[in-house]
Amino acid sequence: MDTVITAPPKRRNPYPESLDVERLHQGDGSASFAYLSRPTDLNGVGAVHGGVLAGLMDLVLAMAAGSHTDPGQRRFSITLSMTINFVAAATPGRFVYAAERIGGGLSTVFCEGRIEDAAGNLCATGSGTFKLLSPGK
């Protein structure tokens, strides 16, 4: 029996696609996107659940970690650690998530990020450490 070996599919992340995030920017070491909260994102007091904010913070930090102005040089990043600080209640609506790479080396980088509501009020800050995979890996 002959076995057909095919190339692995190009890596993609279906998570942001499932959330309908609006990519605003992805440059060399920086990224931002907007997200419109959904009724299912709310906690018992009507604010956006901290887990939703944390998951999206992880996403924008990881995007910044592996970002590059040349799409062919963008690298997939794996979260090694992340910290989030909730500064104010996140009332439902549109949020802007922004992050930048602040240091690191060839395989491990450090990023900081922030979440602001539609009025520009700070809702949360975060930081993370990410492992970078080689381009195309």
Chain segment 4-13, per-residue pLDDT in tens: 655 445 556 6
Answer whether residue 133 shows pLDDT above 80.
yes
Q: How far is CA 81 from CA 39, 44, 56, 90, 110, in A?
A: 29, 28, 14, 23, 10
Inside any domain, residue 11: no
Predicted TM-score (pTM) of this structure: 0.86
Residues 6+ apart with CB under 8 A from 49: 41, 42, 43
Q: What pLDDT is stored for residue 14 in this prediction?
A: 76
pLDDT per residue as tens digits for the range 18-32: 888 999 998 889 999
Higher per-residue confidence, 70 vs 111 = 111
Contacts of 2 (CB under 8 A, 6+ apart): none
Q: Is residue 45 part of a domain?
A: yes
Mean pLDDT, the chain, whole residue set: 89
pLDDT of residue 136: 60
Q: Give the pLDDT confidence of 109-129 residue by residue, as tens digits.
A: 999 999 999 999 999 999 999
The number of distinct structural domains making up the chain is 1
Q: Which domain holds residue 47?
A: 17-132
Residue 74 has a pLDDT of 81
Residues in the chain: 137
Asked, for residue 102, whether it belongs to a domain, the answer is yes
State the CATH number of the domain containing residue 67: 3.10.129.10
Is residue 32 domain-resident?
yes
Tell me whether residue 7 is in a domain.
no
CA dist 52 and 95 (Å) reads 12
- For β-strands 30-36 and 22-26, DSSP reports them as antiparallel
Beta bridge partners of 125: 85, 114
Give the model's confidence band at 3: pLDDT under 50 very low, under 70 low, under 90 confident, else very high: low
Angstrom distance (rounded) from CA 26 to CA 60: 10
